């Protein structure tokens, strides 16, 4: 499970307007979708927050996918005069007793840890 959150999104809306914010959301969604594999599932789960369900994926591969997404968001054309960044958290398990909610919660906690450690 990968949970991501666009950094400083409120500032983007406040500085450039909601139309620009919507374009940033669309840009981030397209990056996530383009880095998803056939069996993965990407979804917007909040204002500037996205989830990517990584099917049959170990920790090393999940981290590599997250890094590719992070780099694509930072390097991409977000239609803003400033560079976009994204914070992500990853949680992987092969334990079938772990609920989907627990996976989301653990990935979300990892994402907030990334935000607290400098974002991006």
Catalytic residue annotation: 48
Cβ distance 111 to 27 under 8 Å? no
What pLDDT, on the 0 to 100 scale, is given for residue 82?
76
Q: At the topology level of CATH, where does 2-116 sit? A: Alpha-Beta Plaits (3.30.70)
Residue 77 has pLDDT above 80, yes or no: no
- Residue 72 class from Cβ within 10 Å (0-12 exposed, 13-18 middle, 19+ buried)? middle
Q: For the whole model, what pTM was predicted?
A: 0.88
Residue 109 has pLDDT above 90, yes or no: yes
What pLDDT, on the 0 to 100 scale, is given for residue 84?
87
pLDDT range class, residue 79, cuts 50, 70, 90: low
């Amino acid at each position: 499970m990968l949970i991501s959150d666009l950094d400083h999104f409120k500032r983007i809306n406040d500085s450039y307007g909601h139309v620009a914010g919507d374009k940033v959301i669309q840009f981030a969604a397209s990056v996530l979708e383009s880095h998803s594999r056939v069996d993965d599932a990407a979804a917007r789960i909040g204002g500037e927050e996205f989830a990517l369900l990584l099917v049959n994926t170990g920790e090393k591969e999940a981290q590599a996918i997250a890094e590719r997404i992070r780099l694509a968001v930072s390097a991409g054309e977000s239609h803003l005069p400033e560079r976009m960044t994204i914070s992500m958290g990853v949680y992987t398990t092969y334990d079938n007793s772990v609920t989907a909610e627990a996976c989301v919660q653990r990935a979300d906690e990892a994402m907030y840890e990334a935000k607290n450690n400098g974002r991006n």
